[in-house]
Structure 1
Amino acid sequence: MPNIYLYTKKTAALAVLLLVVAALNSDANAQVKKSAAQGLPIVAPQQVGFSASRLNRIDSLLNSYTKDHRIGGVVALVARQGKIAYWNASGYSDIKNNKLLQRTDLFRIASQTKAVTCAAVMMLYEEGKLLIDDPISKYIPEFRNSQVIKTFNEKDTTYTTEPAKREVTIRDLLTHTSGIGYAVIGSKEMRAIYVKNNIPVGFEPRKLVLGDRIKALGKLPLAHQPGLQYTYGLNMDVLGYLVEVVSGMSLDAFFKERIFNPLGMKDTYFYIPAEKQSRLSKVFKSNNKGIVEENEDKVDSAGVNTIYPLVKGTFYAGGAGLSSTAYDYCLFLQMLANGGTLDGKRLMSPHTIRLMRINQIGDIPLGMSPNKAGFSFEVVTEKGATVGPWAEGTYAGGGFWGSNYWVDPESDLVVQIWTQGGGWLLGDMINKFKAMVYGALVDDYGNKFKK
């Protein structure tokens, strides 16, 4: 059982509730223990270079945010050398019903889907099915002869365009430099254009089909000339459809057959089966006092649907659609950290993974970040490594509702901290968590700085 901080006046009643919840989750926990013996074993922290007492201080950090509902619930997992040294849950998956968060609960991981889609594209690249610098129109003709927005009238959302100077390539899509924007959460211009043309953000309960919407997207203008700037957008959704075109499989089927099943990922889905839906954490939003409340609506305050994992949907969004557990996703990250293999099963080559985790945008700024972009990942630069304790070359990502991860090759670390809506305090908690993880790493790794 995770070490969960219990904060309530009705301690005795909730203690009984905790036993009930434990019983309900016993099957899930038993499955994790069984699979962990094959995938990621749980070991004493000192076996992989951590101070146990220092690492366990993370409990108090997480509890300090969840005890008064500044954050609803959080799961944190720290693995080193392919072994789990810390894995804990704090707070609630459902505050209204006093349902405590379990470390095996499912989360909407949103943009963490992107790394899986990127891996799928690179697997096809390894098989000679495509080239990174191919124009996307070679596979999706609707992207041929792209136009770029020249002027935009905010009053009636009309616009003028000019021809793109070159075709959008797969590389542009992998690095978010294509000029494709985001629906709902993107710029006002692209939001307006995409709403008018029924382009979804990726959290989709409607009976839409990925290929239909991506073909429609291909006929719409770009926000800027391809390859000139970084614009976070629906690039991985386009690449999800590319995987379907090239492989002849739905993205859902490709993920299951080529990635999830080989890695033993048994809790990762676009649409969660009925028997596992009770393990999906609620989404939370912060009120004006910084206290989280359960999101009662089917659409959250940002205009984003939250009910989508619980329906029988048909839209496999390569940029945002998955739900998973921290353990399941750690299997995927550990495969990348291992150079493409896990439990003797090779999914990718280490040389291909190197392409994913190095700077692929040159001197193009990554917003206000000191870091750069690889293929789907944020890549920590020398300057970025001065901001916090992670090493240069670390690659990282996260999801819309507050799930975050990073892989630090130099320290041989895979780290995750997940929540489902943390408000303005989320960054504060993550930065403190990061400091505490590295502050607990006390083996010979640190001795090189003394030489």
Structure 2
Amino acid sequence: MHTTDPASVGFDPRRLQRVKEAMQRYVDRNLMAGIITLVARHGQVVHLEKVGWMDRENNKEMSLDAIFRIYSMSKPITSTAVMMLFEEGHFRLGDPVSRYIPAFKDMKVYQPRGNADYDLVPARREITIRDLLTHTAGLSYGFDERSPVDELYREKVWKRMDTDPDVKLETMIEAIASLPLAHHPGEAWRYSMATDVLGYLVQVVSGKPFEVFLEERIFAPLGMKDTGFYVPEEKASRLTAVYGPAEGGGLKVIDSATDSSYLRKPKVASGGGGLVSTTADYLRFAQMILNRGILDGTRLLAPKTVELMMMNHLPGNGRKPDEPFNGFGLGGSVLLDVAGSQGYGSAGNWGWGGAANTWFWVDPREDLLGILMTQYMPGFVLPVTEDFKNAVYQALDA
């Protein structure tokens, strides 16, 4: 991949070297195995560096064409697919989801009684497509160990995904729809499997398997040749290993590069977290978003559609409860309060990350984007994404 002189687009080259230095420290301290970072401004890549290993146990250094499990960085791509169908007039954002997926009719909401018991009360209104895009539908994920609703997700959704050989996208979504909502639609932000539901919505509305729609309408037009729901055999050597903290310090393998489930076609194409990709491929997607819907003459979205996606859609111009400096748009977070974030950025920054600490953002004000690719779980416990962002912004001098 060609890189441009950073000075030509307003970066101090010496200061920009601090990005690699910051990432190298994570490897040197045995906190992460390997990292790729990319920075682009005015459509030009000014920084592309790799440190460490993609498969330390097999002595494979990080490669710029390494393939990563991007987990929830799948969500902005799925949301883009939804907005493409919205542009074509297939639905309105305020439409009830049940119009297209009848299982979501007459949803019930979990209401605790103040002890271990609970009631199920009718939802005050139906879930809309915008509720799914903004994680305000009342769905959940199964992550919260204290939530009875999440316990149901673990039992009825995730256990079935692991044990049912015949599970498919449709049956997974029906399982989600059978569970109570954690809150009434539109009343709060709760991270959830809503984007998996959106993937099925794309399938229903387009009449094509979700994975086929993404390939034909997004990946092929953008030239994202290494992005999909699994790594084919001929590319298997490029898959990275996933690491996590070992007892007593250091790293241990969480998901092997040589025996990962991502080397096999999945039973379900998860729009919320199922994709693999490369730094180069995700650059093409992120640059399309930053360009307001177009890349190299190929337009996927109208400028006004991207503008709508990057607005804060939380009720009452609200904030994410875990990040009170961020709102949430259609498929990604929106930076509202730069000072409150205690770091660099611009109001209006939009982006998202994945469970293994992959992360990207676009900054329309500075015409800038950043991508970090690594494979470390749990996500966002180490401040690597914050260190990356801060090292990028301190290098701007124009």
Q: What's the CA shift for 1:424?
A: 8.4
Partner of 2:170: 211
* Alignment RMSD: 2.5
Which residue is 2:336 aligned to? 381
Structure 2 unaligned regions, length at least 5: none
AA partner of residue 224 (structure 1): H
Runs of 4+ in 1 over 6 A off after TM superposition: 152-155, 200-205
The equivalent residue for 2:81 is 120
Asked if 1:136 is matched to 2:90, the reply is no
Quote the residue 1:343 is aligned against. Answer: 296
Q: How does 1:54-133 map to 2 (within 5 A)?
A: 54-133=15-94
Q: Could you tell me which amino acid in structure 1 is paired with residue 295 of structure 2?
A: L
Normalised TM-score (structure 2): 0.93
Q: Is the 8 A contact 2:134 2:314 kept in 1?
A: yes
Counterpart Cα distance in 1 of 2:255 and 2:44 = 38
Q: 1:352 to 1:281 in 2, by over 3 A?
A: same
Aligned to 1:404: 359
Distance in 2 of aligned mates of 1:154 and 1:100? 53
Match of 2:3 among 42, 45, 51: 42
Q: What displacement does 1:191 show? A: 2.8
Structure 2 counterparts to residues 319-330 of structure 1, below 5 A? 319-330=272-283
**Within 5 Å, which residues of 2 pair with 1:361-380?**
361-363=314-316, 364-369=318-323, 370-380=325-335
- Provide Cα deviations, 1:403-438, integer angstroms capped at 9, x if missing partner: 011101111111011211166886433222222111
Q: Which residue of 2 aligns with 1:193?
A: 152
Aligned equivalents of 1:409, 1:360: Cα separation in 2:
18
Query: C-alpha separation between the residues in 1 aligned to 2:111 and 2:103?
Result: 20
Q: 1:212 to 1:205 in 2, by over 3 A?
A: closer
Name 2:131's counterpart in structure 1: 172
State the partner residue of 2:311: 358
Structure 1 gap ranges (5+): 1-32, 34-40, 299-305, 444-451
Cα distance in structure 2, aligned partners of 1:312 and 1:435: 38
Q: Match of 1:226?
A: 185
Partner amino acid, structure 1, of 2:293: G
SS at match of 1:431: helix
- Aligned-residue sequence identity (percent) comes to 37
Task: Give the 3 Å change call, closer, same or farther, for CA 201–130 of structure 1 in structure 2.
Answer: farther
**Contact residue 417 and residue 430 of structure 1 kept, 8 A:** yes
Residues 145/340 of structure 1: CA separation in 2 closer, same or farther (3 Å cut): same
Residues 130 and 227 of structure 1, relative CA distance in 2, 3 Å threshold: same
State the shift of 1:351 in Å.
Answer: 0.3
Q: Is the 8 A contact 1:183 1:191 kept in 2?
A: yes
> Structure 1 404/425 Cα, relative in aligned 2: closer, same or farther at 3 Å?
closer
Q: Which AA in structure 1 matches 2:74? A: T
- Give distance in 2, aligned partners of 1:224 and 1:424: 25
| Superposition TM-score, scaled by structure 1 size | 0.82
